[in-house]
Structure 1
Amino acid sequence: MYYVAHRLFAAHDRLLAARLARLLAAKTGPEQVFLPFCDTDEEDLVAEVKGQRLFELDRERLGRLTAMIAVLHGPSLDDGVCMEMGYAHALGVPIVAVTTDFQTYSFDEDGPRFEFPDLLVQTVITDLVRVPRLGTDPGSGDMADSRYAVFADRNDRQLGQALETAVDRMLAHCLPRPTAPALPVGGASLAFVEQSPYTPIVGALTALVQKAGWATEESSRFTAHNSLEAARTDLVRSQAAGLLVTDVSGPETPPGAALLIGAAAARGARVIAYYPRTVLTHASGREPNWRNLMIQYAAEARFANPECLVDWLRR
């Protein structure tokens, strides 16, 4: 099963993903491709708890992965896509990321440049297809009277190059998948605490978890001198824990937190979310969601205040 992970809340994002899925299906057969929203019939699906049902359908496909193509663009990476990437990484399948973003990121003016603002994302990717520049000028006389038509065509060429390259790269990485060994759930008394990149008080969430009597490891990449090496360490340490405690605050769940939630869900580790300020999202036929449904239903519990978090952990 080839899984196309993409942001799906706007028509232009779904259109881009559909274009990618068509290219992939032409080389593998449509029955081998899973395109969320399209293949779960999301707009017309009727279910008693629709968001939860969509989560179940997506997770069932994630469990049969051969490879994943993840569409990533902009500094705010989609939290559902990041969760799916974490799930795929935990299963050991290749992940090809494709982006046409022309920006790169660094943590100081003279530091190394990275393709994504959270290096945990960079750490789990098998291959990256980055096409940051517009396609060549078509030079068509039919378009000479409209600079907007030329601009649209150059963007279209850029997208076409990126998607075709991503499909070819993903197929090159796909080898017969051996039977996957049982994934380690992690230590039952050890919690990995994923701090928020938006919260300046380092260690506050960890202190709450320790107050409840848990041994802890915590993320370090947001304050480390070598952020890339720290991201690799965070990933390894998180896999040793039986419980993930993560701050999911922000406009969306932070990319690294979403990724770790996906990896924990694939391993069967427990996930709890700390979310002090809840903003609900609403969609036709769905129950209100307090985060992306891939985050909401992977988490066992959510807490908005420290006291409830500590009480729950002490149970």
Structure 2
Amino acid sequence: MYYVAHRLFAAHDRALGAFIAQRLAAKAGPESVFLPFCDTDEEDLIAPVKGRRLFELDRARLESLTGMIAVLHGPSLDDGVCMEIGYATALDIPVVVVTTDFQTYSAADNSTRWEFPDPLIEVVARRIVRVDRLGTPGPGASRDRFAAFAARNQAQLETAAALSVEAVLELATANAPGASVTSPTDKGHAFIEPSPYTAQPETWPAALQAAGFSVTTASRHRAPDPVTAARGDWRAALHSEVLVADVSGPETPPGAALLVGATTALRRRIAAYLPTTTLTHARGREPNWRNLMIQYAAGSRIRDVHDVASWLAL
């Protein structure tokens, strides 16, 4: 089963996901492609706790994948998609990240650039497909400049879809079937994923150490070489018994979302730090304090250091 992960919350995002899924289905077969929202019948689904039910359905699909195409654009990456990337990668499922964004990122003017706002994305992605320029106008291009511009964008999307489909099929064929997950748990070790945007609460490590944990804190956000540091963060997080992740912001920061996904796939404990929030609402769904994939994966929400101690005692 191939999975197309994309932002769900606007028609153009869902249309882009369907566009890629249709082209993947033409190569792999319609029954071999899963498209969220479409295939969970999200708009019409009725359940006592709809958000949790959607999480359960999505997680069941993620457990049995052959490959994933994940669509990421812009400086604010979709936290649900990043969570799904982390989940799939922790299970050794090849992930192709596709983008038509023309921006890249760096920590300073002349330092090494990376592909996405958090270098952890490119560390875990098996392949990145970046098609960052408009397509070439075809013969007989329209004299209407807006129609011509739309056609060039459509050509860009066609190229991105074709390349990402080719990549995920190639990687899935090369991936060993039933590959084992080699991430043994380091008992008594905790990983802290602070926000890249704000200071980490200084009391977190002390609270974890008081409970008997050794602690590693993510270093890539302030490291001279963020990509190399991201590799170390990924290794340390995969082997930790517990994850404490700062999920503050309009959306969960992409690295935190990715690590929440990976830790969930490995059946380990997660606490999501979110001192304040704005609830989101959708028709037929309970209010959510974070993207529902993050909310139900994390399970526990903490607001201060006292909550950390209480959570560890559970």
Q: Matched residue pairs, number?
A: 313
Q: 1:173 aligns to what?
A: 171
Q: Could you report, residue by residue, the CA deviation over 1:22-44 in whole angstroms, capped at 9, with x for unpaired residues?
A: 00001111111010000000000
- For residues 112 and 304 of structure 1, the distance between their equivalents in structure 2, rounded to whole angstroms, comes to 35
**Counterpart amino acid of 2:57?**
L
Q: 1:157 aligns to what?
A: 155
**Counterpart amino acid of 1:158?**
Q
Q: 1:307 aligns to what?
A: 306
Describe how 1:123-162 pairs up with structure 2 within 5 A.
123-140=123-140, 143-144=142-143, 146-162=144-160
**Percent identical residues:** 56
**Counterpart amino acid of 1:151?**
F
- For residues 80 and 95 of structure 1, the distance between their equivalents in structure 2, rounded to whole angstroms, comes to 15
Q: Could you report, residue by residue, the CA deviation over 1:78-108 in whole angstroms, capped at 9, with x for unpaired residues?
A: 0010000001111111111110001111110
Contact 1:183–1:267 (8 Å) recurs in 2: no
**Counterpart amino acid of 2:229?**
A
- For residues 274 and 32 of structure 1, the distance between their equivalents in structure 2, rounded to whole angstroms, comes to 37
- For residues 275 and 89 of structure 2, the distance between their equivalents in structure 1, rounded to whole angstroms, comes to 29
Q: 1:293 aligns to what?
A: 292
Q: 1:263 aligns to what?
A: 262
Contact 1:185–1:267 (8 Å) recurs in 2: no
- For residues 68 and 112 of structure 1, the distance between their equivalents in structure 2, rounded to whole angstroms, comes to 28
Deviation at 1:192, TM superposition (A): 0.7
**Counterpart amino acid of 1:15?**
A
Pairing 1:246–2:245 present: yes
- DSSP 3-state at the match of 1:210: helix
Structure 1 residues 182 and 105, CA gap change in structure 2 (3 angstroms): closer
**Counterpart amino acid of 1:224?**
A
**Counterpart amino acid of 1:169?**
A
Deviation at 1:308, TM superposition (A): 2.1
Structure 1 residues 202 and 46, CA gap change in structure 2 (3 angstroms): closer
- For residues 20 and 252 of structure 2, the distance between their equivalents in structure 1, rounded to whole angstroms, comes to 25
Deviation at 1:225, TM superposition (A): 1.1
Structure 1 residues 14 and 212, CA gap change in structure 2 (3 angstroms): same
Contact 1:84–1:262 (8 Å) recurs in 2: yes
- Which consecutive unaligned segments of at least 5 residues does structure 2 have? none
Q: Could you report, residue by residue, the CA deviation over 1:112-166 in whole angstroms, capped at 9, with x for unpaired residues?
A: 121101011110011111010001123525x21x211111111111111111111
- DSSP 3-state at the match of 1:252: coil
Contact 1:2–1:66 (8 Å) recurs in 2: yes
Worse overlay, 127-136 or 179-188: 179-188
Worse overlay, 244-253 or 179-188: 179-188
Structure 1 residues 182 and 85, CA gap change in structure 2 (3 angstroms): closer
Contact 2:194–2:245 (8 Å) recurs in 1: yes
Deviation at 1:284, TM superposition (A): 0.4
**Counterpart amino acid of 1:46?**
I
Q: 1:99 aligns to what?
A: 99
Deviation at 1:211, TM superposition (A): 4.2
TM-score by length of 1: 0.95
Pairing 1:283–2:282 present: yes
Q: 2:114 aligns to what?
A: 114
**Counterpart amino acid of 1:243?**
V
- For residues 203 and 6 of structure 1, the distance between their equivalents in structure 2, rounded to whole angstroms, comes to 35
Q: Could you report, residue by residue, the CA deviation over 1:40-63 in whole angstroms, capped at 9, with x for unpaired residues?
A: 000000001000000011100000
Q: 1:50 aligns to what?
A: 50
Q: 1:87 aligns to what?
A: 87
Contact 2:242–2:269 (8 Å) recurs in 1: yes
TM-score by length of 2: 0.95
Q: 2:23 aligns to what?
A: 23
Q: 1:4 aligns to what?
A: 4
Contact 1:4–1:34 (8 Å) recurs in 2: yes
Worse overlay, 176-185 or 40-49: 176-185
Describe how 1:57-96 pairs up with structure 2 within 5 A.
57-96=57-96
Q: Could you report, residue by residue, the CA deviation over 1:228-264 in whole angstroms, capped at 9, with x for unpaired residues?
A: 1100000000112111111100110000000001111
Deviation at 1:183, TM superposition (A): 5.3
